[in-house]
Amino acid sequence: MAITDTDVNSKIQEEKVEEKVRENEEQAILRVENLHTSFFTDSGEVRAVNGVSFNLPKGKVLGVVGESGSGKSVTAYSIMQILADTGRVVEGKILYKGENILDYSEKKMNSFRGEKCSIIFQDPMTSLNPTFTIGWQLREAIQLHTDYKTKEEANKRAVELLKMVGITEPERRMKQYPFEYSGGMRQRVMIAMALACEPDILIADEQTTALDVTIQAQILELMKELQKEMGMAIILVTHDLGVIASMCDEIIVMYGGRVCERGTADDIFYRPCHEYTKGLLRSIPDVKNMKEKLVPIGGSPINMLSLPKGCAFCPRCEKALKVCLENAPDEMEMPDGHYASCWLNVKKEYEEEINAENQKTAGKEHA
């Protein structure tokens, strides 16, 4: 059988795609594959995360966005293995530099948490001990997780870190207690604490939600600068797409414990391909058009104890099809290269194929 130019071209194309996938996988410092996490409660199994997958390349920023209860924190806590006693990863892999951390011993996991991956929570008061000075707490983290073992070395490093996160008069501030710091300053201390071990990955879970917008912007700006300086990868967890968009190399949108769409900020903002993402965008203010009315997503969040059989967003989706009720849509690549899981895209592709077929047939008949 003769090999045509088309065969050769498609082979070259296939090889290019495979090479790109290989490249991405090699670069990824963290890969989450088909993660399922559940809580086993008296009322039944709460399936909080249902098949989440993503790649976090070295030195990149990934935004995880979704409304309350969509499984953002549970995904983050699964990576850190800090789930409540009733919670368990029931399926999937979490690969750090190719190793499945779910197979790690408790000792190895402790060093992963302390040295490779750090997390910052929304409320610093839950992480800072009110009865110890900031200096004491920073010193302890440094001595525990780094090679600065003596009190003097750790003290010096703590002062350096406070300076790095923009705390003025760090020597004096070291002697103060958390209540003597403002909310924004406490967040800066949390960042300093998380950076103490120079982690490869930093997870910030709704870190700036409780702060006013100006301080929020300052903290995000600081994170951006530190990320560039230290080259770590960051996972930014938030329910507020508008706040983090400019910082992220990639954004994943979650609903009902699943990823509904993933792509660059431009893909998500200008070419959304999932009805939930479109709803999210309609509900955030557009600075260029402040007169436009905000439209909240109708209906109530799903009950994670009894997830719908098909698309999790189906009960609230105005464009739902019959198939959405029964079958969860698979992730599909969009023409611009980003990914979405919505039956409407399958329908659109099918209709385009039929149209193209019809045009071809009409052309032949005409000839």
Ligand X SMILES: Nc1ncnc2c1ncn2[C@@H]1O[C@H](COP(=O)(O)OP(=O)(O)OP(=O)(O)O)[C@@H](O)[C@H]1O
Residue 184: name its binding partner from ligand X, ligand SF4, Mg ion, none (Cβ under 5 to 8 Å by kind).
none
> Minimum distance between the CB of residue 311 and ligand SF4, rounded to whole angstroms?
3
Region from 25-33, 61-69, 96-104, 309-317 binding ligand X, contact rule CB under 6 A: 61-69
> Minimum distance between the CB of residue 145 and Mg ion, rounded to whole angstroms?
25
Site residues for ligand X, 9-48, by CB under 6 A, read: 39, 41, 46, 48
The pair of three-digit structure tokens given for residue 291, joined into one six-digit string: 């007169």
Contact 194, 229 (CB under 8 A): no
> Minimum distance between the CB of residue 269 and ligand X, rounded to whole angstroms?
20
For residue 197, count other CB atoms closer than 10 A to its CB. Answer: 19
For the CA atoms of 158, 164, 165, 167, what is the dihedral angle to 10 degrees?
70
Contact 135, 192 (CB under 8 A): no
Question: Is 74 one of the binding residues for ligand X (CB under 6 A)?
Answer: yes
* Residues found near Mg ion in the complex (CB under 5 A): 73
Question: Is 47 one of the binding residues for ligand SF4 (CB under 6 A)?
Answer: no
Region from 51-59, 70-78, 158-166, 186-194 binding ligand X, contact rule CB under 6 A: 70-78
Give me the amino acid identity at 42. D
- Strand ranges for the chain from DSSP E: 28-41, 44-57, 61-65, 87-96, 99-100, 117-120, 201-205, 233-238, 250-255, 258-263, 332-333, 339-340
Name which of 69 and 135 has its Cβ closer to Mg ion. 69
Question: Is 68 one of the binding residues for ligand X (CB under 6 A)?
Answer: yes
Residue 48: name its binding partner from Mg ion, ligand SF4, ligand X, none (Cβ under 5 to 8 Å by kind).
ligand X
Give the residue, chosen from 47, 101, 329, 338, that forms a contact with ligand SF4 under the rule CB under 6 A: 329
Q: Which residues have a Cβ under 8 Å from the Cβ of 294 and sit 6 or more positions away?
A: 282, 283, 284, 285
